[in-house]
Structure 1
Amino acid sequence: MARLIFVAIALLTMGQSMGQQQYVISQYMFNGLVLNPAYAGTHESWSFTLMTRDQWRGIPGAPSTQTFTAHGAITRSNESSVGLIISNDTYGAIALNNLYGVYAYRMSFDRGRHHLSMGLQGGASLFNVDLSQDDLIDPDDPVLNNDFSSIMANFGTGIFYNGPKAYAGVSVPFLLNNRLNQSEDDLSRQVRHYYLTGGAILPLSHDVKYKPSFLIRYADGISDIDLTTSFLFKDVIWLGVTYRVKNSIDFILEIQFTDNLRFGYSYGLVTSELGQSTSGSHEIVLNYRIKKQHPRVNHPRRFR
């Protein structure tokens, strides 16, 4: 049964009916650069983030994702920032690796309390299909033995606003609909993904803050919505729950160990029919920030 699921995923990915190809993450509010290039520089310091996600544990060939991002300002006024995105996304015999550079320009308003950033990213993706490592139902079927790889250049853009109590962003990380297989007979292509994010922070008391947020993904007529509610205790511990509509419920824990180091973990409980075959999804995020020499920071760490 698991192999049938894998074959179905592989054929849907390579066929004309292209759905959402980009990886899904639960802790999007703490790893914004993978969704929006305009996010670069918002941490007010150089920031490095590692993320690993094990999706649908228990199903052979289920998606597995790893990302590394780095970003920070390159001017004293923080107007210009650069970043780097490296990611590895595999499911079954299919692998997608990305390497992208990022540039963002930020404008400040109201004496530096509000910022509007515009970002660009550019780079290349390596798409690879290797069916030789999997147990196929019919190893002589030519459709299931069509290994190939392709390198695709692409670019994307985004806009991001952040202030002392709210943020919002819209982005299209990959604008080109590249052909996945260079063969003229293969019509499968990359699908353009649109992301809309937003959130706010509302103090409930001196030690407790409430932060609602959302993420909307749209691609090829398919949309996903993440609705998150979380609480911050003493600027150190985040506890949150995300409802991915008709898909999963994710429980999130974030701990600010020091001014520089943050750890995050989320567990996703699948609510769709797929939940009968998996024990859930696990995601770990580790963020390290290089502290600035001067102490003034416009937005405290509790916001991002």
Structure 2
Amino acid sequence: MRKSATTLLAILFVLLLRTEKMFSQQDPQYTNYMYNTIVINPAYAGTRDVLSGVFLYRAQWVGLDGAPTTAVVSVHSPVTDSNIGWGISIINDEIGPATEQNLSADFAYRIPFSNSSTLSFGIKATANLLNVDYAKLSIYDPSDPLLQNNVDNRFTPNVGAGFYWYSDNYYLGASVPNFLETKYYDDNSRSSAASSKMDYYFMGGYVFDLSESIQFKPAFLAKLVNGAPLQVDATANFLFFEKFTLGSAYRINGAISALAGFQLSKSIFLGYSYDTEASNLANYNSGSHEIFMRFELVKSSSKIYSPRFF
């Protein structure tokens, strides 16, 4: 099974390179997107009204050699006595022979309304580094000219933007993290090239107070990429006694997930999710794991801090 999975990944990667119109690199996917919003929507910067940092690690399709792994470190905060927010994100994404690093800086401006909601607009600037080591592939034809030259520290810049409308009970947002199309490979003997195209994100969620001790939040994240099927995550989370979170999610034509989290203190929230594939790919892996920790600088003198779902 392990050898078959390795061969499958190699075949898929080479076929993608040889496809006439080629493939588009897509941004990493996250099951806990409601806690990791800053990496896909710059307008989220500063919306939690405290200095907030997230550490996230995702291991996808465990058991499949060369399967995607993603590590994220992000921090964002409002600027004191202003409507400005800022954020910084670092992402390391690996799949098969490819390793990609992104460093992003975010700037947001928030407009408060009389109904206690806020509309935030944000922009994102990103520096990207890509490395591809073809020696990690099980190549049928080692002399293939398309696979002779590795990609070493290929640098590309990008910019993005988004908006985020929120209150204590709901949020809606839309964003395009990368406006510029980036060509990663170019074969002089062909007109084809692999590229990173624009990803369009749409998100929303609402918090229902079922009782004094139980809250329920349905949420969704839709992702649209030219040339790829629409991806939609639908999530249902319950918060018990403002401490323990339990929920499930469904990614259309993708995966079924279980989510859990615990508010360890006013400053620290720890979460975990497990995905099981809803496609034939489930025969080649044992699921996907995602773990994260959110740390926030909450004033010790403040009243009881009410954790938010988003």
Q: What TM-score comes out, normalization by structure 1 length? A: 0.93
Alignment of 1:195 with 2:201, yes or no, is yes
Q: 2:266 aligns with which of 239, 259, 268?
A: 259
Given residue 220 of structure 1, which amino acid in structure 2 is its aligned partner?
Answer: N
Cα offset for 1:100? 0.9
- Counterpart amino acid of 1:38? A
Residues 35 and 270 (structure 1 numbering): CA distance in 2 closer, same or farther, change over 3 Å? same
Work out whether residues 20 and 220 of structure 1, in 8 Å CA contact, stay in contact via their aligned partners in 2.
Answer: no
User: Whole-Å Cα distance in 2 between the matches of residues 8 and 218 of structure 1?
Assistant: 26
Please list, as runs of the form range in 1=range in 2, the aligned pairs for 1:65-80 lying within 5 A after superposition.
65-77=70-82, 79-80=83-84
2:40 to 35, 42, 45: 35
| Residues 1:119 and 2:125 are matched in the alignment | no
SS of residue in 1 equivalent to 2:106:
strand
The alpha-carbon deviation at position 230 of structure 1 amounts to 1.1
Which residue does the alignment assign to 1:154?
Answer: 158
The superposition leaves residues 73-132 of structure 1 with CA deviations (integer Å, 9 ceiling, x where unpaired) of: 12323x101110100111010111101111000011116x21100000102111221112
Counterpart CA distance in 1 for 2:257 and 2:25 is: 20
Instruction: Choose which of 126, 135, 143 in structure 2 pairs with 1:132.
Output: 135
Deviation at 1:34, TM superposition (A): 1.1
2:243 aligned partner, one-letter code: V
Question: Equivalent residue for 2:177?
Answer: 173
Give me the whole-angstrom Cα distance separating, in 1, the residues matched to 2:89 and 2:22. 28
Q: How far off is 1:300 after superposition?
A: 3.7
How many Å separate the matches in 2 of 1:40 and 1:292? 19
Give the equivalent residue in structure 1 for 2:87: 83
Equivalent residue runs for 1:1-304 within 5 Å: 1-11=4-14, 14=17, 15=19, 16-19=21-24, 21-77=26-82, 79-110=83-114, 113-149=116-152, 150-181=154-185, 187-221=193-227, 222-292=229-299, 295=302, 300-304=306-310
The CA deviation at 1:58 is 0.7
Structure 2: distance between partners of 1:157 and 1:229? 27
The answer on whether the counterparts of 1:62 and 1:92 sit within 8 Å (CA) in structure 2 is yes
Q: Distance in 1 between matches of 2:166 and 2:25?
A: 27
Would you say how many aligned residue pairs link Structure 1 and Structure 2?
Answer: 301
1:19 positional shift: 4.3
Is contact 1:54–1:64 with CA below 8 Å preserved after alignment? yes
Alpha-carbon distance, 1:6 to partner: 1.9
The TM-score with structure 2 as length reference comes to: 0.91
- Does 256-265 or 213-222 show the bigger shift? 213-222
Which amino acid in the other structure matches residue 64 of structure 1?
T
The one-letter amino acid paired with 2:298 is: K
Offset of residue 220 of structure 1: 1.2
Distance 2:6 2:303 in 1: 55
What is the SS of the residue equivalent to 2:308?
helix
Deviations 1:204-249 (A, max 9, x none): 1110011000000000142101011110000111101010011110
Q: Distance in 2 between matches of 1:12 and 1:171?
A: 31
